[in-house]
Structure 1
Amino acid sequence: MSSSSALSHYDSSPIQLIYAGGTFGSYGRPLEPLDAEVFLPALQALLSKHNQAGQLPAISWLDNTLIKDSSQLTPKDFVHFYKLLLEAYTQGHRQFILITGTDTLSYLGAFLAEAFAGSDICIVVTGSMRPLLDSDILQTYSVDASSDAWDNLSASLRLAAAGESGVKISFGGESWPAQTVQKIHSHDFMAFTGHSRAAYPANSYIKTLPDTRRQHWLDDQQPLLNSIQTRAEQADIHALYCLPNDSEVVRLQLQALLSRPACGIILLGFGAGNIPYSPALAESLQHAYEHGHMVVCASQCPFGGVSDSYAAGSWQYDYQVLAGGRLTIPAIYARLLWLLLRYDTPARRRQRWIHNVNQMGTTIRKR
């Protein structure tokens, strides 16, 4: 099969829809997520009813056994969705919609963006702030006209049908690359924001991937599945949030992690990544590096990222702290998690992080 015919085959396949729970599929009084066996037929009937003009693309359901509140998701669960999508991609499917809860939607989307970099897969992640179904009508399943769920799903269907490679989040009438997205409101319909800055993020997707290159990509991924699943059982990412305290508070938190297996640690600094200094904290950061931990500095600010403009922040980079650049906190979590799962040594993980950040042009210079 030629590359052009292969693309035609992919783009003509039904969009694979994955239902993973969340507010989107909640129903009743009190609200609780419907089981897939109940919700998916109801959703299929509603889609058919609203598709009398034939304006919606063809859809198939991808069987998913993991349906739970997104606040309960773990690294093991993230790997479950990676494996589910990878298997479907291997079988010839290319366009997907994943419906999940909003609590960790940006984290899951960013993780999938890391995991599928270099492929031509098209994944749209969405959810809603209010349930799709109207719980005031208990005799039949009807779309709640005041909910954002139907609009989010419709927009996601159009985006997935377009087939552009990459992982995107679609919400509130907008869409963004998954690694740029963060939740900014706890209950408003415009709950997420992101951006589409050129050359950002560093991980790229291939617009048109010939059969041989796609197979090479799959051949690189599949032998690693077992080790990725095993590492997910123990993978940990920790966040140390700087407050106007003595630096000893952060040092003690960091010190408590040194005896753990190699993990990811996010230092949430002030402003452009400023961290309270002390010789003891500097020594602990160096020890964390020597123990194989990856410590990444991020900003508590939602926009702008970190820099080494201030002495109050630049000192940490002399003690092996990595700069989060312009990445959001969910994206930093996702990249750390993927590196822990994908690579077998601290040196390889660190090398890969530095390579990605260098591509973004946000390297922190050493003093």
Structure 2
Amino acid sequence: MIQPDTLQIIYAGGTFGSYGRPLAPLDATAFLPIVQSHITTHSHTLNLPATTWLDNALIKDSSQLTPSDFVHFYTLVLDAYSKGSRRFVLITGTDTLSYLGAFLSEAFAGSDLCLVVTGSMRPLLDPEVIQDYAIDEHSDAWDNLIASIKLASAGESGVKISFGGESWPAQTVQKIHSHDFMAFTGHSRAAYPANSYIKLFTDTRRQHWLDDQYTVVADVQSHAKHAYVHAIYCMPNHPDILSKQLQALIDQPPSGIILLGFGAGNVPYSAALAEALDQAYEQGHMVICASQCPFGGVSDSYAAGSWQYDHHVIAGGRLTIPAIYARLLWLLLRYPSPARRRQRWTNNVSQTATTIRKR
């Protein structure tokens, strides 16, 4: 029986637990006893809380994760949360770490759950030592894990990402370097859904939230098998290239489409693209404009970008690409109709804008 105040750690693979040549995630039965032994040895010196490992059968390279895998981690944490656990650390790979963190942030909005997502750029175990498993003293894995455990031990509601000595609300985070230890960045002005987490939850209110989740969880799992979020990347090509890319998606089931514009969301105009955007809307697709720039987001201040919003494109605001993907995916899984998804997105963006203006 897990005590409610015990912090639960989830091992999902990734570089953190990789070993050998080429690097591949170790099986949990081999890896977790080594990590737990190291935690136990240092728990008193580092003043760590009581921890345990939440059983997880899905261990894979994060570049291979799918929407169904994202839902797996949602349901895994949801079941533990329903049994009284409140604090979690999730170890995953860095390729999709920001996507998974943002998705879980959307999924658990409205709760008092505390979840910290982390990983590492180098394995915890030294892959050059083949005679025995040995901790790599030059890896960032141990420091990231300890920082995440300490952050989660505080129990502040919400989903955060901890990496390289810093932490941020999960839906603001993006990977900015392919191999440096300071691989991620984010910011603290998160707005929705970070501001929708509940600090003090009565048992009755928590049960109502859980009841709402379990009412739709079977549908969420089913929809994940056929949910798609596409990306169309603007490049200095003839505008008809974009319309052809979009046309290829229109007759598919309603999906999320991220249109990655230049700068503040500028997209080259063509009559064919405008018509394709109207058709995408009529078919139930949600097209969100995002910026290729890592910071700043999009705006409608340039004529080169504002025209698309007359054709049912939704501005992604300051959301990162992983956050846009996560919100689109959650809406596709959670709400059955295109109109309801669009309504929920609009409400969420309005909450975000209001929060930013108040700060």
Same fold (TM over 0.5): yes
Alpha-carbon shift at residue 70 of structure 1 (Å): 0.2
Counterpart of 1:243 in structure 2: which amino acid?
M
Percent identical residues: 73
Q: How has the CA–CA distance of structure 1 residues 202 and 155 changed in structure 2, closer, same or farther, with 3 Å as cutoff?
A: closer
Counterpart of 2:179 in structure 1: which amino acid?
H
Aligned counterpart for 2:149 among listed residues 124, 142, 157 = 157
Q: Distance in 2 between matches of 1:115 and 1:199?
A: 15
Q: Does 1:249 align with 2:278?
A: no
Q: Distance in 2 between matches of 1:179 and 1:222?
A: 24
Q: Distance in 2 between matches of 1:340 and 1:202?
A: 20
Counterpart of 1:309 in structure 2: which amino acid?
S
Equivalence for 1:62: 54
Alpha-carbon shift at residue 315 of structure 1 (Å): 0.5
For the 8 Å contact 1:11–1:94, the answer to whether it is kept is no
Q: Distance in 1 between matches of 2:58 and 2:204?
A: 32
- SS of the equivalent of 1:309 reads coil
Aligned counterpart for 1:97 among listed residues 80, 83, 89 = 89
Equivalence for 2:110: 118
Consecutive unaligned residues in structure 1, runs of 5 or more:
1-9
Equivalence for 1:281: 273
Alpha-carbon shift at residue 352 of structure 1 (Å): 0.2
Equivalence for 1:133: 125
Task: Describe how 1:1-367 pairs up with structure 2 within 5 A.
Answer: 13-53=5-45, 55-197=47-189, 199=191, 204-361=196-353
Q: Distance in 2 between matches of 1:283 and 1:203?
A: 37
For the 8 Å contact 2:63–2:95, the answer to whether it is kept is yes
Q: Deviations for 1:192-231, whole angstroms, at most 9, x for unmatched residues?
A: 0000016355651001111111111001100101100110
Aligned residues: 354
Q: Distance in 2 between matches of 1:362 and 1:320?
A: 22
Counterpart of 1:114 in structure 2: which amino acid?
E
- SS of the equivalent of 1:50 reads helix
Q: Deviations for 1:238-278, whole angstroms, at most 9, x for unmatched residues?
A: 00000011110000000000110000000000011000101
Q: How has the CA–CA distance of structure 1 residues 202 and 323 changed in structure 2, closer, same or farther, with 3 Å as cutoff?
A: farther
For the 8 Å contact 1:272–1:305, the answer to whether it is kept is yes
Alpha-carbon shift at residue 141 of structure 1 (Å): 2.7
Q: Distance in 1 between matches of 2:349 and 2:157?
A: 22
Alpha-carbon shift at residue 140 of structure 1 (Å): 3.4
Consecutive unaligned residues in structure 2, runs of 5 or more:
none
Q: Distance in 2 between matches of 1:255 and 1:42?
A: 52
Q: Deviations for 1:272-329, whole angstroms, at most 9, x for unmatched residues?
A: 1000101111111011000000000000000000000001100100110011000000
Alpha-carbon shift at residue 349 of structure 1 (Å): 0.2
For the 8 Å contact 1:265–1:296, the answer to whether it is kept is yes
Q: Deviations for 1:3-34, whole angstroms, at most 9, x for unmatched residues?
A: xxxxxxx9962111000000000123332211
Q: Distance in 2 between matches of 1:203 and 1:197?
A: 10
Counterpart of 2:151 in structure 1: which amino acid?
L
Counterpart of 2:120 in structure 1: which amino acid?
S
For the 8 Å contact 1:106–1:330, the answer to whether it is kept is yes
State the superposition RMSD in angstroms: 1.6
Q: Deviations for 1:99-134, whole angstroms, at most 9, x for unmatched residues?
A: 000000000000000000000000000000000012
Q: Distance in 1 between matches of 2:190 and 2:161?
A: 17
For the 8 Å contact 1:237–1:333, the answer to whether it is kept is yes
